[in-house]
Amino acid sequence: MFKEVKDFEYITISEAKEIMEEIAKKRQEEGELLFETRRALKHLRLFAKLPAEKAKELVEELIKLPQVGRRELAVKLADIMPRVPDEVRVIYAKERVTLTSEQIEEILDVIDKYRI
CB 50 within 8 A of CB 58: yes
* 52-114 is a CATH 3.40.50.9100 domain: no
CA atoms within 13 A on the CB side of 59: 24
Chain segment 41-98, per-residue pLDDT in tens: 999 999 999 999 999 999 999 999 999 989 999 999 999 999 999 999 999 998 888 8
Ranges of CATH 1.10.150.80 domains, the chain: 52-114
| pLDDT surpassing 70 at residue 2 | no
Q: Which residue type, as a one-letter code, is found at position 54? A: K
Question: In the chain, what percentage of residues exceed pLDDT 70?
Answer: 98
* pLDDT tens digits, one per residue of 7-49: 889 999 999 999 999 989 988 888 888 888 889 999 999 999 9
Which of 20-42 are b and which e, b meaning 16 or more Cβ less than 10 Å from the residue's Cβ?
beeebeeeeeeeebeeeeeebbe
Decide if 62 contacts 74 (C-beta within 8 A): yes
CA distances from residue 88 to 29, 41, 49, 95 in whole angstroms, order as listed: 42, 27, 17, 11
pTM score of the predicted model: 0.86
> For residues 28 and 34, is the Cβ–Cβ distance under 8 A?
no
Q: CA geometry: angle at 95 spanning 47 and 100, to 5°? A: 95
